[in-house]
Amino acid sequence: MIVYKSRALEDLENWHEDELAIIELRQGSQSLGDLWNRVHRRQQDKLKPFGAEAHGVSNFRKRVGIMKDRKLISGDNSDLSLTAIGEWVANSSLMTLERRVSHLDSWLCSSCTDGNRATVLAPLEETFNQSRAGVFVSGICSNCQQQYDRLRAPCEIRTSDHFLSFLSSFIEDLKIYVAVAT
């Protein structure tokens, strides 16, 4: 079963800087300082998860750099905005925001994907492996032929047919926001 969740509920649940920055950037481009202030204000208004701590502005700058590397946001520190892939992460109802980000890291070729075009890895079905730790499958990029080993499937998936169904839904949903190559 693929988990769908309303954006309003998701917005209430998210507390960490990455997710809150994506949620805030839905409203449009912002400077790094404005984005930090809004994210920090939202964190202060919420009950923080056990063991979580709000980070300082220097750590937030590092997180923004990581989100740029992951092709979720673009721009310089005076004008940050979501890329097309970031728009998908921010607005899709497929899975949760946090899980969408993790599946982008797992199922898009890091070499052939940019903020406006996604290259989805083709699963190598013969590598489908179920263990107590979860379901794993290797994938290959149809563009550059780079192989990625032991990619984790969503936790609710238990069969290769279910995984292929999930991947099809993932691709169709992603196509709404970004050009997709498979």
Q: Which CATH number does the domain housing residue 85 bear?
A: 1.10.10.10
When divided into structural domains, the chain yields a total of 2
Please state the rounded mean pLDDT for residues 160-171: 88
Task: Say what the pLDDT of residue 96 is.
Answer: 83
125 plus 61 within the same structural domain:
no
Task: Say what the pLDDT of residue 101 is.
Answer: 83
Instruction: Copy the structure tokens of residue 54.
Output: 């709000």
Domain of 111, in residue numbers? 99-181
In a domain, 2, yes or no: no
Task: Say what the pLDDT of residue 34 is.
Answer: 96
73 plus 31 within the same structural domain:
yes
Among 51, 72, 91, give the residue marking a domain's end: 91
Among 69, 91, 113, give the residue marking a domain's end: 91
- Judged against a pLDDT cut of 50, whether residue 136 lies above it is answered with yes
In sign, the C-alpha dihedral spanning 146, 147, 151, 154 is positive
Give start and end residues of each alpha helix (H) in the chain: 7-13, 17-25, 32-44, 57-69, 84-91, 97-107, 160-175
Task: Say what the pLDDT of residue 30 is.
Answer: 96
Q: Which of 10-14, 143-147, 156-160 has the lowest mean pLDDT?
A: 10-14
- Judged against a pLDDT cut of 50, whether residue 170 lies above it is answered with yes
**pLDDT level of residue 155 (50, 70, 90 thresholds):** confident
Tens of pLDDT, residues 37-74: 999 888 877 656 555 666 688 889 999 999 999 899 99
- pTM (predicted TM-score): 0.81
User: At 131, is the secondary structure helix, strand, or coil?
Assistant: strand
Tens of pLDDT, residues 79-124: 999 999 999 999 988 888 888 887 787 889 989 999 889 999 999 9
